[in-house]
Structure 1
Amino acid sequence: MSTPRRTPNRWWALAVLSLTQLVVVLDGTIVNIALPQAQLELGLSDVERQWVVTAYALAFGALLLLGGRIADYWGRKRTYLVGMVGFGAASVFGGLAQNGTELIAARGLQGLFAAMLAPAALALLTVTFAHGKDRATAFAVFGTVAGTGAAIGLLLGGLLTEFADWRWCLLVNVFFVILGFIGGVLFVSESKAEGDNRYDVWGAITVTLGLGSLVYGFSLAEGGWGSVDTIGFLALGALLLALFVWIESRVAQPLLPLGIVANKVRGGAFLIQAVTGSVMIGALLYLAFHLQIVLGMAPFASGLASLPMTVAIMITAPIATKLLPAIGPRPMMIGGPLVVAAGLVYLSQITADGNYFVQVLPALIVMGLGMGFVFVPLQNLALSGVAPHDAGAASATANSAMQIGGSIGLSIFTALYAATAGPTTDLTGKPLLEAFTNGYSAAFLAAAVGMVLASIIAATLIRGAKTELLPQGDAHALVHAG
């Protein structure tokens, strides 16, 4: 097995791979601010509006494990380049959509190709920066980009919606795709898992259908948790996922080696990733609605209003990076989510006649400060100690946790919003802003409870000396590159 080639190009590779991560994360939120205009132009129902967001996160999360294995076996660079082209094509399809069905289908296709891109990019990063200080720096940069991507998506979405057209929230990806493809060709080296590799077809089928059924069941909860359809799809999803685990324990080359998630530290990191995804995808959608519908902000002003959280993350991330070797990830993973939860509780106090600078801005700053201490150690923990052969599967699991967490979180928040808000217009059709804020408050409080749960998970599962939690890595434990 060869050692990695340490070339100056690896820092250019980091830039390219970080750009990729930015694209797949910001596309989870870039359409949020555009949704009111898209809904009017295409005549979307409220259910279709939710599925414009959910289709991307669901396809992305459900197919990530398969995408990770394709990257491992077929070649990570090759998978990355194909994913880039497909993502660009799907973005063009969505930007030219003429009805809700086409837009939702395009978002699903974006998610499919993102499921190839994301694990390939993270696995390439893992083998390019295998150990030492450079690895810590690379993962800090990558994690910061991942953490700020959702908020950047809101800002860019507002800018494009107000000064161009909502369709550019999808078409803008073409520019990222061109840069990413050229950069990938020039600066990224091919790598793949060694040996005779076979795909786990039944594992791929059961996990994809299981996750899809689970998320769809949660999405139906808006109509009632006790309905036959809701219970049926949730039960089917749980059954299929149990079958997936049984299959993975018996096949020679599983789609998801159970040892990846059986490790308490990594398993805890994946669970925290899921909760964080619910906040970054689900809660930020309702923040966008509050800024536009209740506070009456224009799309760009709405995106700009979300920027303080991004700035706070960018301020905190370098501090967290320096502290990480000194104190280890555990204190950050316990304290960070609690800080985010405090911000969400403050945000839940919004009122129909409230002021952005009093009721929203402080909450965003506090949330950003907390998220910075979550994102920096999270990627390292999720991939710590993973065998090189399983780098793609592990990175896919980390991404899948965030996307599926976001899908489920959005569905739960939507159900809580619908149950709490009640009728949102009076008999004359005039919006009842207090009803909107009641619903948004319920969603923010639920997100806060989730972040407290994340802190408890960290305290319970992320245990061990800092040298054990953040191993420097073995220079010889690398996949074949070339």
Structure 2
Amino acid sequence: MAEDGIDPRRWAALALLCTANFMVILDAQIVLLALPSIDHDLGFSGGGAQWVLSAYLLGFGGLMLLGGRAADLLGRRRTFLTGTALFLVASLLCGLAWTGGALIAARVVQGISAALMAPSALSLVTATFEEGPARNKALAIWSSVGGFGATAALLVGGTLTDTLGWPWVFFLNVPVAAVLLALGPALLSESKGTARAYDPLGALTVTLAVSAAVYGIVRVPETGWTGPSTIAALLIAVAAGALFVWIETRSAAPLVPLRIFRSRRLNGGNLAMLVTAVAAFGTSFTVSQYAQGVLDYSPLEFGLATAVLPVMAVVGSYAAQSAIGRVDVRPVATTGLVFMAAGCVALGQITENSTYLTGLLPGLFLFGTGLGTCAVAATVAALSAATDRDSGLASGLNTAAFQLGGALGVAVASTVGSRTGTVDGFRTAFDTAAGIALAGAVIAGLLLATPRRRRVSEPTEVTTLEKERT
């Protein structure tokens, strides 16, 4: 530890945590281009190969809040390393899968391990960097790496499948996870767990609620919004969610203390992140359908053509972390969402004869800039509103908002027209994403205002009181 109290290992720790974030985001989509090969080799029936993608989202989204709270109660580093070890084993099993059922089961475990890794890693970032410019810069790097992971999935997945075969889509994780496990104990500081009692009923009901919601949403492209399985899953999610709230109000040691939702900035940051993910995943899905279905791009060509999006997301991320120190999160978040909407409007001008320069590049440029900008602002808003004892939970909520929004974005895009394979359908999907982004800008403007009574001394007072309690 340096004399000024700042850990000299913090940037190395950030690199390690961002690597984990990259791996988690990458695996959410990397199998997309490998699905035809997986389906051919393992012999899925009736569109069952889609569950190789959905199973990961189900495990990831369903356990996200539990993973975030586990970091608070059991220790952030311990939770992160446990999740990483499980991720390594699950990835190995995915690559060695001998049947379709075995692969889907391993993907569920992989999603569960990601639910432990992602929120604990993000809470470690906030704990490692003090609030202010340093933390904002760290979160900008975190967000930009996530953007690279989402796009690299399309590039890496296609390349590995064409050269080494689909198992290497999963084997790729094994050496990376091994390095994380080797360096993690030396670079990451452990937080003091606060567990004195547990809330098993709260854990059960919130997991059921989120899992049912994710299941219902990922089924939408197959069954539609009015399909029996979709409606049943969403009704279960609502009922389990209501039961969860009732349990938490009466629990002596609630898994999710409901007081955390009194913060408008936390709620605003998470809603902004949800909307950002809806627009981002819906737009990416539609761009993929258009580029490969109409422009006839190969997977590799598509990955290279869309590289402008993560590049501009990085630019937007760094612009956001610089601006937040001067003008706060509300104007930054709203500006980012407006840029995303403008990008979708530009993409909505596509025709059957559009070229890359006229059809995709302007929209991807604007959209990527807004995506990076809003992702940083939403994360800063949500995490800065939480106390240290709730940082893991706040990270879990923020990550869950992103994952739930991503599943919702694909569902919305597929049902408003992009699955028709027609340019008119693609335009409708882009216009819908633009409307969602503008609605998000309004939400951010209303909820992300800095409270008038907030003073520089208030966070210090809260921190001091909490230190006295512990």
Does TM, scored on the shorter chain, surpass 0.5?
yes
Structure 2 contact 348–430 (Cα < 8 Å) conserved: yes
Q: 1:377-402: CA deviations, max 9, x gaps?
A: 22111111312211111111111111
1:253 partner letter = A
Deviation of 1:471 (Å): 9.0
The alpha-carbon distance between structure 1 residues 439 and 205, as it changes in their structure 2 partners (threshold 3 A), is farther
Matches within 5 A, 1:308-327: 308-327=308-327
Q: Which residue of 1 aligns with 2:265?
A: 265
Q: Which residue of 1 aligns with 2:355?
A: 355
Matches within 5 A, 1:187-206: 187-194=187-194, 196-206=195-205
1:144 partner letter = S
Structure 1 contact 69–393 (Cα < 8 Å) conserved: yes
448, 455, 469: which one pairs with 1:462? Answer: 448
Are positions 1:102 and 2:116 aligned together?
A: no
2:213 partner letter = L
Q: Which residue of 2 aligns with 1:210?
A: 209
Q: 1:419-454: CA deviations, max 9, x gaps?
A: x62xxxxxxxxxxxxx34444444333322221221
RMSD of the TM alignment (CA)?
Answer: 2.8
Question: How many residues in Structure 1 have an aligned counterpart in Structure 2?
Answer: 463
Q: Return the alpha-carbon distance in structure 1 between the equivalents of residues 341 and 38 of structure 2.
A: 32
The alpha-carbon distance between structure 1 residues 355 and 99, as it changes in their structure 2 partners (threshold 3 A), is farther
Q: Return the alpha-carbon distance in structure 2 between the equivalents of residues 358 and 118 of structure 1.
A: 37
Are positions 1:116 and 2:134 aligned together?
A: no
The alpha-carbon distance between structure 1 residues 105 and 470, as it changes in their structure 2 partners (threshold 3 A), is farther
Q: Which residue of 1 aligns with 2:237?
A: 237
Deviation of 1:43 (Å): 4.1
Q: Return the alpha-carbon distance in structure 2 between the equivalents of residues 467 and 358 of structure 1.
A: 49
Deviation of 1:149 (Å): 2.5
Matches within 5 A, 1:438-449: 438-449=424-435
Structure 1 contact 381–469 (Cα < 8 Å) conserved: no
2:207 partner letter = T
The alpha-carbon distance between structure 1 residues 58 and 468, as it changes in their structure 2 partners (threshold 3 A), is farther
Q: Which residue of 2 aligns with 1:428?
A: none
SS in 2 for 1:249: helix
Matches within 5 A, 1:269-418: 269-417=269-417
Structure 1 contact 286–440 (Cα < 8 Å) conserved: yes
Give TM-score scaled by structure 1 length.
0.88
Deviation of 1:466 (Å): 9.7
Q: Return the alpha-carbon distance in structure 1 between the equivalents of residues 35 and 348 of structure 2.
A: 22
Q: Which residue of 1 aligns with 2:165?
A: 165
1:398 partner letter = N
Deviation of 1:330 (Å): 0.8
Structure 1 contact 123–392 (Cα < 8 Å) conserved: yes
Q: Which deviates more, 222-231 or 139-148?
A: 222-231
Q: 1:443-469: CA deviations, max 9, x gaps?
A: 333322221221111011111269959
SS in 2 for 1:297: coil
Deviation of 1:352 (Å): 4.1
Q: Return the alpha-carbon distance in structure 2 between the equivalents of residues 445 and 217 of structure 1.
A: 24
Deviation of 1:103 (Å): 2.9
Q: Which deviates more, 385-394 or 213-222?
A: 213-222
Give TM-score scaled by structure 2 length.
0.90
Q: Return the alpha-carbon distance in structure 2 between the equivalents of residues 48 and 395 of structure 1.
A: 32
Q: Return the alpha-carbon distance in structure 2 between the equivalents of residues 147 and 231 of structure 1.
A: 32
Q: Return the alpha-carbon distance in structure 1 between the equivalents of residues 455 and 157 of structure 2.
A: 37
Q: Return the alpha-carbon distance in structure 2 between the equivalents of residues 45 and 306 of structure 1.
A: 32
Please, which runs of 5 or more residues in structure 2 have no aligned partner?
none
State the percentage of identical aligned residues: 37
Q: Return the alpha-carbon distance in structure 2 between the equivalents of residues 135 and 106 of structure 1.
A: 35
Q: Return the alpha-carbon distance in structure 2 between the equivalents of residues 102 and 296 of structure 1.
A: 33
Deviation of 1:201 (Å): 1.1
Q: Which residue of 1 aligns with 2:439?
A: 453
The alpha-carbon distance between structure 1 residues 80 and 469, as it changes in their structure 2 partners (threshold 3 A), is farther
Structure 2 contact 62–214 (Cα < 8 Å) conserved: no
Deviation of 1:27 (Å): 1.7
Matches within 5 A, 1:27-106: 27-44=27-44, 47-106=47-106
- Larger relative contact order (C-alpha < 8 A, sep ≥ 6)? 1
Deviation of 1:224 (Å): 4.0
The alpha-carbon distance between structure 1 residues 52 and 357, as it changes in their structure 2 partners (threshold 3 A), is farther
Deviation of 1:403 (Å): 0.8
Structure 2 contact 265–385 (Cα < 8 Å) conserved: no
Structure 2 contact 132–325 (Cα < 8 Å) conserved: no
Structure 2 contact 133–325 (Cα < 8 Å) conserved: no
Q: Return the alpha-carbon distance in structure 2 between the equivalents of residues 193 and 477 of structure 1.
A: 17
Structure 2 contact 280–371 (Cα < 8 Å) conserved: no
Structure 1 contact 12–187 (Cα < 8 Å) conserved: yes
Structure 1 contact 344–363 (Cα < 8 Å) conserved: yes
Deviation of 1:127 (Å): 1.6
Q: Return the alpha-carbon distance in structure 2 between the equivalents of residues 4 and 394 of structure 1.
A: 28
2:373 partner letter = F
Please, which runs of 5 or more residues in structure 1 have no aligned partner?
422-434
Q: 1:326-376: CA deviations, max 9, x gaps?
A: 111111111211211221232234344432232112211111111121122
Q: Which residue of 2 aligns with 1:175?
A: 175
The alpha-carbon distance between structure 1 residues 479 and 56, as it changes in their structure 2 partners (threshold 3 A), is farther
Structure 1 contact 154–306 (Cα < 8 Å) conserved: no
Q: Which residue of 1 aligns with 2:142?
A: 142
Q: Return the alpha-carbon distance in structure 1 between the equivalents of residues 29 and 21 of structure 2.
A: 13
Structure 1 contact 313–369 (Cα < 8 Å) conserved: yes
SS in 2 for 1:296: coil
